[in-house]
Amino acid sequence: MIKVGTQFLLVSSVLPLALLGTAAVGQKGAKGKGAHPVAPVRKATAKSTQVSYEKHVAPLVQKYCTGCHGAKSPAAELSLVGYKNAASVLKAHGVWEKVSGNMSAGHMPPAGTPQPTQAERDLVVGWIDATISQAYCDLDDPGRVTMRRLNREEYNNTVRDLVGIDLRPADEFPSDDVGYGFDNIGDVLTISPLLMDKYLLAAEKVAKAAIQAPETQSKPVRFPGSRLDGDGGADFAETGGRLLGTERGDVGVAYEFPRAGEYTVRIGAFAQQAGPEKARMGVRLDGKEIRVFEVKAVQEAPEVYSLRVRVPAGKHRLSAAFLNNYKKPELPAPNDRNLIVDFMEISGPLEAPGALPAAHRRIISVSPTKATRIAAAKKVLGDFARRAYRRPVTKDEVNRLVRYVHLAEKQGESWERGIQLGVQAVLVSPNFLFRVEANADPKTAGKKSRLGSYELASRLSYFLWSSMPDEELFKLAAKDALQDPNVLAAQARRMLKDPKAKALADNFAGQWLQLRKLSVVAPDTKEFPTWNDGLRQAMRTETEMFFTAVVTQDRSVLDFLDGKFTYLNGPLAKHYGIPGVEGDAFRKVALQGDRRRGILTHGSILTVTSNPTRTSPVKRGKWVLEQILGTPPPPPPPGVAELPDDKKGPLTGTLRQRLEQHRSNPACASCHARLDPIGFGLENFDATGAWRDKDGEHPIDSSGTLTDGKSFKGPAQLAAILKTKKPMFVRSFSEKMLTYALGRGVESPDKCHVDDIAAAVASKEYRFSALITAVVQSDPFRLRRSETPQKMVKR
């Protein structure tokens, strides 16, 4: 093998770029296309109005607001005194955005105080929104670029699509940080020393799994008894093996299988025989029994038990278990049957003569001869780097990769081994690990520019697939066709029909709806004895299938609020009390009655917004305000204790009664007036989403009155009221989708575009495709504020 420290070579030649100058690695190979200043693509859309602050808005603010929000001791430390004109309002636009949001939601003025008429409310909210929106539109700024690395899901999916093997190496990486509710936000995706080490290991693993080189062919690997782990065995000193004396547990080894294929497993074993039958040994792969052997051998003549098994690439556990324990101490010896495992040996994969893995054939598309080996290396590594870097590559870049082939051959190793090393170098390059959107022309710094066509292809593919572009996107990028908004929209529609669009359900919906939390919630099984992991997974599947149906069937996004269908299997239907669904397979079910509507009544949502032993109207109300309406409440004031989970303590009665006592504290009242009624509307669902009419001995009261004065009784009426707030939902949903698509938080200039996206969705009957089309055709998605490489690196 190569004697030079390969990892040192790769790190010293490639990775420093990630820290010192990644932003400058760029689009020279892209022929400079698409990286030029452009004239403004859109103009401000906020309508002019004859309403003025001084004549129309200020008197209403004085009449309804300054009583609480005056100059002295204003509520929430927010004073609305001292604003004289539109200019002064714009200087404090953040304050007035809150005023607009609270008035449009009906939260302000608070109940019990004089209320404006609907016309007065519309006038104030309309003027604030139009004034601030006009100011944002006038900025004409598509936002800054943050160079960001691939997160774990993006890394796994990109490797899968690049080499054709679903290895999921990033499952071993540290967890990604989250910003603005998502884990693809460039500002929080940092690189730690541990992650750099993981990158090196992952690159080696992928290269060896994808490319077959003579030096890295798997030789038999033997694990003596001392290296076998498991909770079912004890050391057997006489042979160095492991003794299994009960049917509990097993002994084995977690082994990194370099690639998918058939492997030979050999197990040296014997038994201490007793009773009427011979010992039986079960061989397991990842806990699933794949073969049973009758072990007739004894210590004086141990035997080797061999089998062949097909194993996917990656780490899997092979183990041996004792299946028929026998112990009768009251009988004469031998009266105790035991199994002893001396070693396990793994060899493979066992390829047919001349056969090469599909990934190998995919990457090495030419057969080198002695005369053409360097030209072949340039072709192979150039093609691989082009796809991995998601753009054309320069001659310089290819020549640097071919050095690894020279190095391998110089030290007596094969051409294929050199290609392996070149692939490793690509996989630790910042051009692979980062989505680089650098300026081709420094003169464009500070100006609005189009994204390069290859950059736009990557934005689109990582938005909808969480992975690299496919060949169709690459071909369109090469022709600059993606700069046409209609082509971009057509590609988005095509991509939503591809199976890879499931990533949108996994990664966008999984975080927007907080489904990922479902894997860690732990309802108390004493309180909820029907809860189990099968139910947990079924709940997640239901919501993911519902989201996928909205995407693939191009349904209205308003179905999220009150959709009258869902997807159930037998166990989940039984949990919900819905008859007529049997078996483990999921199917579409039309919802009858008025108990369940939309995602709000999915078990997944109801469970992640509950406590282990009881429901939480506060958490459920907060979830609706944040994830559905986009009006998150402020954090609770310091020093205010949470409501205890149990019913002991100073607060008594039903959960509703205890919450009402809790919010009698003035410090809690204003927020709870927004949170609790929504949560009360969902009280018929217990902490695992099952319907109930009583909480213990107390009948459930699921009625409520929102801060805008609208009353409801039960979840169906609550869903109907929420649907009347569809402008708020659609705007919130649009903002979250744009945040996810851009990989950055929405900034002030973006809000004008969010309004445009929401309006476009409403004009197209709220179809999901209208949302995606409006996002990918928006200025923040297609354009950027150019910056110098130095500024990007400093950031």
Q: What is the pLDDT of residues 189-223, one digit of tens each?
A: 999 999 999 999 999 999 998 998 876 666 789 99
CA torsion 219-222-223-226 (nearest 10°) is -140
Mean pLDDT of 440-447: 61
Q: For the segment 215-239, what is each residue's pLDDT rounded down to a tens digit?
A: 666 678 999 998 998 877 788 888 8
The pLDDT value recorded for residue 792 is 42
Please give the pLDDT value at position 670: 65
**Residues contacting 402, CB < 8 A, separation 6+:** 374, 377, 378, 381, 422
What average pLDDT does this structure show over 46-54?
68
Q: At 794, is the pLDDT very low, low, confident or very high (cuts 50, 70, 90)?
A: very low
Q: Where are the alpha helices (DSSP H) in 624-763?
A: 655-662, 666-680, 715-724, 726-742, 750-763
pLDDT at 267 exceeding the cut of 80? yes
Other C-beta atoms closer than 10 Å to the C-beta of 270 total 23
Least reliable range by pLDDT among 422-431, 519-528, 641-650: 641-650
Q: How far is CA 76 from CA 623, 672, 712, in A?
A: 22, 14, 29
pLDDT in tens, 501-511: 999 999 999 99
For the cut 50, the answer to whether the pLDDT of residue 39 exceeds it is: no
Phi, psi of 503 (to 5 degrees): -60, -30
Ranges of beta strands (E only) in 278-433 are 279-285, 288-295, 303-311, 314-322, 326-327, 336-347
Give the contacts of 256 (CB within 8 A, at least 6 positions apart): 205, 314, 315
Q: Can you name the residues that pair with 321 across neighbouring β-strands?
A: 282
Residue 313's pLDDT is 84
Query: What angle, 0 to 180 degrees and rounded to 10, lies between the N-to-C axes of helices 768-776 and 485-496?
Result: 140
Residue type, 290: I
3-class secondary-structure state, position 293: strand
Lowest mean pLDDT among 144-158, 275-289, 349-363, 738-752: 349-363
pLDDT greater than 60 at residue 434: yes
Nearest to 509 by CA among 545, 473, 474, 534: 545
C-alpha neighbours within 13 Å on the C-beta side of residue 593: 9
Check pLDDT > 90 for residue 69.
yes
Phi, psi (5° rounding) for residue 290?
-115, -15
CA-nearest of 93, 94, 91, 125 to 109 is 125
Q: How far apart are CA 316 and CA 313, in angstroms?
A: 8
Single out the residue of 509, 485, 541, 460 nearest to residue 736, CA to CA. 509
pLDDT at 609: 98
- Specify the pTM: 0.79
Core vs surface per residue 593-602: b (16+ CB within 10 A) or e: eebbbbbbbb
In which band, very low, low, confident or very high, does the pLDDT at 10 lie, cut at 50, 70 and 90?
low
109 upstream amide cis, omega within 30 of 0: yes
pLDDT of 443 reads 64
Residue closest to 482 by CA, chosen among 21, 16, 30: 30
**Burial bucket for residue 98 (CB in 10 Å: 0-12, 13-18, 19+):** middle
Average pLDDT over residues 659-664: 67
Q: Which among 270, 268, 265 is positioned nearest to 284, based on CA atoms?
A: 265
Helices (H), 6-92: 6-13, 16-20, 58-64, 86-91
Domains of the chain plus CATH, in order, are 53-139 (no CATH), 221-347 (2.60.120.260), 513-724 (no CATH)
Which DSSP string do the residues of 62-79 spell out, in sequence order?
Answer: HHHTTTTSSSSS-GGG--
* Peptide linkage before 114 cis (omega within 30 of 0): no
| pLDDT for the residue numbered 215 | 66
Find the Cα–Cα–Cα–Cα dihedral 120, 121, 124, 125, rounded to 10°.
-150
Q: Three-state DSSP class for 386?
A: helix
Helix (H) or strand (E) holding 567: strand 565-568
What's the pLDDT band for 138 if we cut at 50, 70, 90?
Answer: confident
**Alpha carbon separation from 569 to 300, 540, 545, 552, 602 (Å, rounded):** 54, 12, 12, 21, 13
472-504 pLDDT, tens digit each: 999 999 999 999 999 999 999 999 999 999 999
User: Residue 398: pLDDT above 80?
Assistant: yes
List pLDDT tens digits, range 369-383.
Answer: 889 999 999 999 999
Write the single-letter amino acid at 321: A
| Conformational region of residue 314, where left means phi above 0, alpha means psi within -120 to 50, and beta covers everything else | left
pLDDT at residue 697, as a whole number: 87
Local structure of residue 35 (DSSP, 8 states): -
How many angstroms separate the Cα of 673 from the Cα of each of 73, 340, 617, 628? 21, 67, 11, 17
pLDDT, the chain, mean: 87
CA distance 111 to 707: 7
Angle at 420 between CA 415 and CA 425, to 5 degrees: 125
pLDDT of residue 230: 83
Round to whole Å and give the CA distance between 545 and 559.
13
Please, are residues 441 and 37 in contact by the beta-carbon 8 Å criterion? no
Which has the higher per-residue pLDDT, 192 or 791?
A: 192
Contact present, 784 and 142 (Cβ < 8 Å): yes
Nearest-10 crossing angle of helices 152-163, 193-210 = 20
Is the separation of the CB atoms in 779 and 178 below 8 Å? no
Amino acid at 512: W
Tell me the two tokens of residue 111: 């109940």
pLDDT at residue 322, rounded to an integer? 94
